[in-house]
Structure 1
């Protein structure tokens, strides 16, 4: 396991697991049937101990669909994190649904999944004038999905975001010789954001093998979101056992 000399996470910060259930909907949509049901999956995840549920309503509705969103709002008992682009359509839906958290992410039609963080220098003016004012009319907490770049974190702080979600995909997919470099970048970015008073979340590409290294490296995480790897593993293990396996890792560091 990759190690750094850091204060023990369990001495300082609690941390929560949120499960992204998008790919339950992907499987359902492959046949056009009504199952598997993302809302039922959300129930199983929460009963197994997950602190909340993440979903990404994309413009092309490739997995989660509008009816799923309203049902998730009705049935999820823990934290509900609405991942979305900053389009006018999504802003309208989000403010109507009123989730606990809105995580703003870049979105491209050709991508298989979100491929990186927001480029804050590119979106800053639009977010300041159009996006944040709309969301600030509600009590929805705002998070920005960012790569571990200091300049992006500085602009996120200037914008007044409540939280950031660090993109962990580059670390998760890195060759072994490059993983420690990516972990160092994530640690520095997380500490910088925390020092600025921004909540630090993380997600993308994490699995049972990568999560321990991340938790050993970053002691200031508030939440971690895991979807594809968790749902994939549940095909073999079942959803309840898989969620509990992730929670056991978290308990080792934050128990």
Structure 2
């Protein structure tokens, strides 16, 4: 059965719109857990545009489920992870001016750095995942670097419009899953997934975790965080 990790970055985005103290991401995390979420995901960016250092510390102390910290491989961020020790770190690329993470980590190009960062984090007992495009070269490079898991970037699927393109991107995800499992990796998925497009991806047997944020927070503005999380879990387990 596929499990849901809720990315609560955009709860902090709402807070930062007024530079105030609410809504608190820790409150949102609690509601997600009460709804049955498997874990909580946040992205601590170098520009701190939403989640900040205090959020990460508080969430580490209060999240009772899996705490997954997304971050780039900058030394500053690695040191924070070594200090906080989340359950999992998902390594992602990061650009200053992007609205959201635009693509997967280039594990081939950054192989030497990725291997070093992975080793540092694993010494602290942190499970390491890489957020990557569903491509064989990236999967194999992640495995070679010692990553225990990969999160397949579902953005190409989420942005596909024509039926042929949708099916093509789903096939890419299926093939990537098979390659990753054969390489000994645990396989997660996420990016751009919504209540409207999630079900075809959940039909891919073996995908064990989904990281979904913007769509859930958007729904939560109308119905509340707990109900929004419950609705997504129902779609994952249907």
TM band (smaller chain): over 0.9
Residues paired across the two proteins, number: 237
C-alpha RMSD of the superposition: 0.9
Selected match of 1:188 from 171, 175, 185:
175
Residue 92 (structure 2) pairs with residue 105 (structure 1): yes
Correspondence 1:77-156 to 2 at 5 A: 77-128=64-115, 130-156=116-142
Q: What's the counterpart of residue 212 of structure 2?
A: 226
Who is 1:62 aligned against? 49
User: What's the CA shift for 1:184?
Assistant: 0.5
2:198 matched residue in structure 1: 211
For residues 234 and 176 of structure 1, the distance between their equivalents in structure 2, rounded to whole angstroms, comes to: 29
Using CA pairs under 8 Å that are at least 6 residues apart, name the structure with larger relative contact order, 1 or 2.
1
1:74-129 C-alpha deviation (Å, 9 max, x unpaired): 1000000000000100000001111110000000001100011011221001222x
- Verify: 1:75 aligned to 2:62, yes or no: yes
Deviation per CA, 1:175-213, whole angstroms, max 9, x where unpaired? 133111111101100111012210000011000111101
Distance, in Å, in 2 between the alignment partners of 1:48 and 1:136 is 30
Structure 1 residue 239 corresponds to structure 2 residue 225: yes
- Do the aligned partners of 1:54 and 1:83 also contact (CA within 8 Å) in 2? yes
Unaligned regions of 5+ residues in structure 2, if any? none
Aligned position for 2:148: 162
Preserved CA contact (<8 Å) 1:191 1:220? no
Q: Return the TM-score normalized by structure 2.
A: 0.97
Question: Which structure 1 segments of 5+ residues have no match?
Answer: 1-13
TM-score (normalised: structure 1): 0.91
Describe the SS at the equivalent of 2:110. Answer: helix
- In the other structure, the counterpart of 1:44 is 31
Provide runs of 4+ in structure 1 moved above 4 Å.
Answer: none
CA displacement at 1:15 relative to structure 2: 2.1
